[in-house]
Amino acid sequence: MNYTKSKSTSRFQYTVNRNNTAKAAGSNVVTIQTKPSTDGQYSVGQSSLTLTVREAKALNRFLNDTLADDVFPVK
């Protein structure tokens, strides 16, 4: 079963592609892509980072642990 979901912010495009039946490399990936900035403040041109779903889950756990409310309380 194929699954694709995207989220866009002013600076980034996040995309998840999953295929539970595929065993080929690159069938289950998370991509974080920068959007070109007209003022050059954050990004120049366009670049992207592609992670496996396993790597993305590890990053998610790291961010959740590191940015937890008890470490950095929301004001």
> Is residue 27 in some structural domain?
yes
> Is residue 74 in some structural domain?
no
> Is residue 71 in some structural domain?
no
Write the pLDDT tens digit of every residue in 8-22.
998 899 999 988 776
What is the model's pTM? 0.71
What DSSP assignment string belongs to 49-74?
Answer: EEEEHHHHHHHHHHHHHHT-TTTS--
Domain extent at residue 24: 2-66
Total of domains in the chain? 1
Write the pLDDT tens digit of every residue in 57-68.
999 999 988 887
> Is residue 39 in some structural domain?
yes
> Is residue 75 in some structural domain?
no
> Is residue 52 in some structural domain?
yes
- Alpha-carbon dihedral angle through residues 63, 65, 71, 75, given to the nearest 10 degrees: 50
Q: How confident is the model at residue 55 (pLDDT cuts 50, 70, 90)?
A: very high
> Is residue 38 in some structural domain?
yes
